[in-house]
Chains A and B, each alone.
Chain A
Amino acid sequence: MLTESIKIVLADDEENDRLLFTDALNELKTKTVIDTVNDGIELMDYLAKEAPDLPHLIFLDLNMPRKNGYECLKEIRALYGNDIAIAIFSTSMAEEDIELTLINGANVYINKPNSFAELKQALNKVVITAHAYQNTFFNKANFLLRV
């Protein structure tokens, strides 16, 4: 009944960011299984390959070459529905754009933190919340979080 670990995939075109992110997640208490991909096209290929054992949570960098976060967001919702939680991260977006991203199907918006400690804190909150939605009778349609 309880999902033991949260399956996570990160899509980010910068290797440094992918490393930081993976390190931060691995330092958290929560049990996670982490995969990374380098851009939007790799992400869609990854999801097609993993189906039906899809990840619980996708972290999407908005600005990627070949296929950006917005396009991925729309495609993922169209293909896989609302079961997968999607967290978008970006640097300094305007309020209206943040809300628009959430309206267009993202569950979480993360303002890219400046320090490793802040990154850990932000990811911790996202993962714990995703874990709660996975294991409690919360309505996933109401999963909205901004960190």
Chain B
Amino acid sequence: MILHITYDINTICKKILQEQLDKLDLKYTLNGVSEVEIKQPVSEEILNQLNAGLKEYNSEIVASQKSIMVQKIKEAIVEMVFMEDKLPSKTSTYLAEKLKQNYTYLSNVFSNVTYTSIETFILMQKAERAKQLMSTNELTISEIAWKLNYSSTAHFSTQFKNVTGLTPSAFQRIINGRRANKQ
């Protein structure tokens, strides 16, 4: 017996994409058939898994060169800030060497995509690291300043306040206040 089938391509594509996204437990909204906004940061590993799933249907994620580069720059910065030894004296040289690109190019791509400079982002990352350490309540502010290679507690406090508008102690009070609220 011969049957004739008609396909609704749009529905098929949507379903395939949704299946792959749901498999990875991602929160998302679909913008039409070919665009999806994932509502959380995703690691390269998850993206690879998603891509692998799509490849089985001869489909794939279209990679934007710029956003790939920015991800790499961010990862290099995170690695740099989390290094236990002294931060490299010239971060521009460090990043240029690590990513094998000239620094002007890196700067331009970075600010193009994130609307901020690499230098500012490094300061934000350092403040993030400090916040993490402060949330554990295990180290004093001085110990954190020392751990993050600041020349003095005052220098650390000043830089932290520049980035967040709050002193480290105010930050700690707020985090502890929030915890108290939950109890």
Q: Do A and B come from one complex?
A: yes
Interface residue A144 (Cβ < 8 Å from any Cβ of B) = yes
The complex places the Cα of A131 from the Cα of B113 at a distance, in Å, of 10
Instruction: Bin the interface of chain A by size.
Output: 20 to 34
Q: Are A142 and B135 in contact (CB under 8 A)?
A: yes
Q: Which residue of A lies closest to B35 (CB)?
A: A4
In the complex, what distance in Å separates the CA atom of A141 from the CA atom of B181?
Answer: 14
* Chain A CB within 8 A of B115 CB: yes
A144 is contacted by which of B115, B132, B164 (Cβ under 8 Å)?
B164
Contact between B29 and A103, CB atoms less than 8 A apart: no
Say yes or no: A146 contacts B131, CB within 8 Å. no
Give the shortest distance, in Å, between B127 (CB) and chain A (any CB).
9
Cβ-closest chain A residue relative to B179: A103
Contact B116 A104 (CB under 8 A): no
Q: Inter-chain contact count A-B, CB under 8 Å?
A: 72
Is the beta-carbon distance between B113 and A139 smaller than 8 angstroms? no
Q: Are B164 and A145 in contact (CB under 8 A)?
A: yes
Which residues of the partner chain A approach B121 to less than 8 Å between Cβ atoms? 132
CA distance A42 to B171 in the complex (A): 32
Q: Which residues of B contact A91 (CB under 8 A)?
A: none
Mark interface residues in B38-52 (1 if CB within 8 Å of A CB, else 0): 100110000100000
Which residues of the partner chain A approach B135 to less than 8 Å between Cβ atoms? Answer: 141-142
Contact surface of B with A, Cβ cutoff 8 Å: 29, 37-38, 41-42, 47, 67, 70-71, 74, 78, 113-116, 120-121, 124, 128, 131-132, 135, 164-166, 170-171, 173-175, 177-178, 181
A residues apposed to B, CB below 8 Å: 1-4, 28-30, 52-53, 99-100, 102-105, 109, 127-129, 131-132, 134-139, 141-142, 144-147
